[in-house]
Every structure is written in structure tokens, then in C-alpha cells.
């Protein structure tokens, strides 16, 4: 059975990159164990102004410590940290972006959450998604799953607790054209373009799927197709989801699986980030549906 390390090596990934991906992947067991004692909210707000959960801060501090000690990362930007962290001890030039725990408002309901990571090869963390060297996410469901792309398609692996390996689950994942959609934002605050997009779905026989965890909602797209969206609204024209920590890494993976990501007008992977906690409206999923959404936006 193919394991994560061998897969990464077979793609020609350099040893430091293999080590970095495996190092973070191995932390998932530790993070999973921490759920039991960290079920509630903190009183602190993150840089996006959202109430942090205990697991947001726990996973953030844990991953920063592990990554900092590894000597494998020069620069790190985290959704939970106000500033970019520099590690002067690094022997590599990797720059990493992370959402240490995505979907964290669902921890107290025991729904699926995960960790999102993007890795650039030098050049800092404020680079477009098209420049990513690798991206992966993990998902805590019945299985602990890791979905990775190093620019050679998308593969998923499942953690085998007994043998302490990530075993290949699905190879060459290709996103189908599905008929399901999820959307965030309050209906009363949607902009006219988004209303037209949702009307199109409702009139075309799409069904609704939305859990409140971006990583889980995107993961199901790899099996069923369809789209996830979080639009700009009257209150937040630039949307809610973070360009660096959420849109770019998942956009890279979904694009590698033959899907697409857009803000309605342009490919999000081409956007050059201006600041660390920048947000973007987004639609992500099956290629044909994204094309239809861009058509609706351009005719609005
Ligand atoms: P995070 O838990 O990292 O703060 O991210 C939450 C994000 C995303 O995971 C999810 O799709 C979205 O926010 C849900 O937002 P709403 O609760 O506004 O629907
Ligand atoms: Mn998130
Ligand atoms: Mn988060």
C-alpha cells in the first residue's frame, strides 16, 4: 500500500519538503487528542475579529512551536496570529500559510473540522496561489484524512493509527460536475449577483449542502462535485473567508483536481495578496458551474 512519504518522493519532492509535510501531518494525532479537553470558546478575538475557540489557540500554538523548532520554515503566517512570524534558524526558504483549525465553531457539535496549509518556496507569504509549491489539508471525520497536491494532481490519504502511516485512499482525484451547492452569508445581505447565482441553482435542481466548515464542505466536492460559496455581502463586500489561509490552499487543490475557484470575476489563484488577513468573496468547485457563475456575474 502506498504511504504518504513514498508518494511525495515519487513526485520528485525534495527531502526537506517531504519532511515538512510529514511533520505537520503527524501532528494530527496530537491535535485530535486535544479535542477532548478543549471544547469551548476563549474570550479572545482573532485578527479577523472572530471569537477564538480553545482549539484555535491550542492548534495554533502547537503548530507554531513544531514548525519553529523544525528549522524547515523561514516565514509563517497563521490565521490566528496578527503578524507574520520569521524563523531565523531555518535551513530552508519555505514560507508557510496556515489555518490551524478550520470550522472551529463546529467543535462543540462534533462535526468535521481540519487544518489547512499552503507552502511557498521562498519569496514570502504574500504570493498568488499559482506560485504554491504544495498545499494540503487534513479533515477529522470518522477517518483522519489528508488531501495533498504538489502540483501533480490530488491524492488523499488516511491515517492508519496502528502502523502510524498515512495510507493512500484515492489517487488522481478528479472533481465531477455535481448538482449541489452551499452558501454562506445572510440572505438579507446578499448582493444582486449572488441572488442570481442562487436562483440559477434552485431553478436547475441543485440541492443544498452546507456544514459551516470550509474544509469539510470543500472535501465533499471531491466526491460529489458542485460548489461551495461565501459571497461578498452588503456588510462585507470582500466576503469572510481569508485569501491566504483558506481560499488559496483549497483553490490550489480543487484546481489541481480539475475544478476552479473564482471571486465571480477572476481566478482567485491569480490574485496577489496585499495583506495577511485579506478576505475575498469566493466560489469554488466544479469547472462548468464556476464558468456559469462567471457568466452570471459578467452579465449583471
Ligand atoms: P474558521 O473556523 O477557521 O474561523 O473558519 C470558519 C469559516 C469556514 O470554515 C466556514 O465555511 C465559514 O467560516 C462559516 O461561516 P458562517 O458561520 O458565517 O456560515
Ligand atoms: Mn477557516
Ligand atoms: Mn481557523
45-94 pLDDT, tens digit per residue, is 999 999 999 999 999 999 999 999 999 999 999 999 999 999 999 999 99
Centroid of ligand 2 to alpha carbon of 158 (angstroms): 21
Q: Give the number of the ligand closest to the Cα of residue 246.
A: 2
Q: How remote is the CA of residue 277 from the centroid of ligand 1, in Å?
A: 14
Confirm if 237 and 192 have CB atoms less than 8 A apart: no
Protein residues whose CB sits closer than 6 Å to any atom of ligand 1: 50, 79, 99, 102-105, 184, 212-214, 240
- Mean pLDDT, residues 161-182: 97
User: With bands split at pLDDT 50, 70 and 90, how would you rate the model's confidence at 41?
Assistant: confident
208-230 residue pLDDT tens? 999 999 999 999 999 999 999 99
Candidate from 241, 279, 282 with most ligand 1 atoms within 8 A of CB, to mutate? 241
Output DSSP code: residue 3: B
CA 46 to ligand 1 centroid distance, Å: 13
> What pLDDT score does 300 carry?
76
Start-to-end CA span in the chain (Å): 51
- Give rounded-to-5 percent helix, strand, coil for the chain: 35, 25, 35
Ligand nearest to the Cα of 189, by number = 1
**Is the pTM of the predicted complex or chain greater than 0.95?**
yes
Q: How far apart are CA 260 and CA 273, in angstroms?
A: 18
* Phi and psi torsions of 283, nearest 5°: -130, 130
The CATH fold of domain 4-170: Fructose-1,6-Bisphosphatase; Chain A, domain 1 (3.30.540)
What spacing in Å lies between the alpha carbon of 115 and ligand 2's midpoint? 8
CB atoms within 10 A of CB 188: 8
Coil, strand or helix at 76: strand
Q: Which part of the chain is CATH 3.30.540.10?
A: 4-170
CATH code: domain 180-298 is 3.40.190.80
Integer Rg of the chain from CA: 18
Closest Cα to atom 12, ligand 1: which residue? Answer: 212
Nearest protein CA to atom 2 of ligand 1, as residue: 103
Q: Which residue spans of the chain are classified as CATH 3.40.190.80?
A: 180-298
Q: Ligand 1 centroid to 215 CA: how many Å?
A: 9
Tens digits of per-residue pLDDT, 263-287?
A: 999 999 999 999 999 999 999 999 9
Q: Give the pLDDT confidence score for residue 250 in this predicted structure.
A: 99
Check if the beta carbon of residue 231 is closer than 8 Å to that of residue 263: no
Average pLDDT of span 17-38: 97
Going by pLDDT thresholds of 50, 70 and 90, the confidence category of residue 192 is very high
Residue 121 has pLDDT above 80, yes or no: yes
The ligand minimizing its distance to the Cα of 239 is 1
Amino acid at each position: 500500500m502506498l504511504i504518504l512519504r513514498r508518494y511525495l518522493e515519487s513526485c520528485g519532492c525534495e527531502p526537506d519538503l517531504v519532511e515538512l509535510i510529514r511533520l505537520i501531518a503527524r501532528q494530527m494525532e496530537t491535535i485530535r487528542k486535544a479535542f477532548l479537553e478543549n471544547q469551548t470558546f476563549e474570550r479572545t478575538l482573532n485578527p479577523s475579529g472572530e471569537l477564538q475557540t480553545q482549539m484555535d489557540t491550542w492548534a495554533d500554538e502547537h503548530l507554531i512551536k513544531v514548525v519553529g523548532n523544525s528549522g524547515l520554515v523561514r516565514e509563517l503566517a497563521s490565521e490566528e496570529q496578527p503578524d507574520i512570524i520569521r524563523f531565523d534558524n531555518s535551513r530552508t526558504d519555505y514560507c508557510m500559510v496556515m489555518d490551524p483549525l478550520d470550522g472551529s465553531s463546529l467543535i462543540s457539535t462534533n462535526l468535521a473540522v481540519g487544518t489547512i496549509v499552503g507552502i511557498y518556496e521562498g519569496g514570502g507569504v504574500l504570493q498568488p496561489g499559482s506560485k504554491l509549491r504544495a498545499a494540503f489539508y487534513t479533515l477529522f471525520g470518522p477517518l483522519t484524512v489528508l488531501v495533498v497536491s504538489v502540483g501533480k494532481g490530488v491524492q488523499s490519504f488516511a491515517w492508519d493509527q496502528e502502523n502510524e502511516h498515512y495510507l493512500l485512499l484515492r489517487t488522481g482525484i478528479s472533481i465531477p460536475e455535481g448538482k449541489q451547492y452551499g452558501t454562506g452569508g445572510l440572505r438579507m445581505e446578499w448582493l444582486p449577483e449572488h441572488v442570481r447565482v442562487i436562483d440559477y441553482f434552485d431553478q436547475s435542481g441543485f440541492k443544498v449542502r452546507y456544514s459551516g466548515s470550509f474544509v469539510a464542505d470543500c472535501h465533499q466536492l471531491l466526491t460529489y462535485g458542485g460548489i461551495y460559496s461565501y459571497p461578498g455581502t452588503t456588510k462585507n463586500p470582500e466576503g469572510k473567508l481569508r485569501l491566504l489561509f483558506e481560499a488559496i490552499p483549497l483553490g490550489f487543490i480543487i484546481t489541481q483536481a480539475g475544478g476552479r475557484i473564482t471571486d465571480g470575476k477572476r481566478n482567485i489563484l491569480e490574485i496577489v495578496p496585499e495583506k495577511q488577513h485579506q478576505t475575498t468573496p469566493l466560489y469554488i468547485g466544479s469547472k462548468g458551474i464556476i464558468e456559469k457563475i462567471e457568466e452570471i456575474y459578467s452579465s449583471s
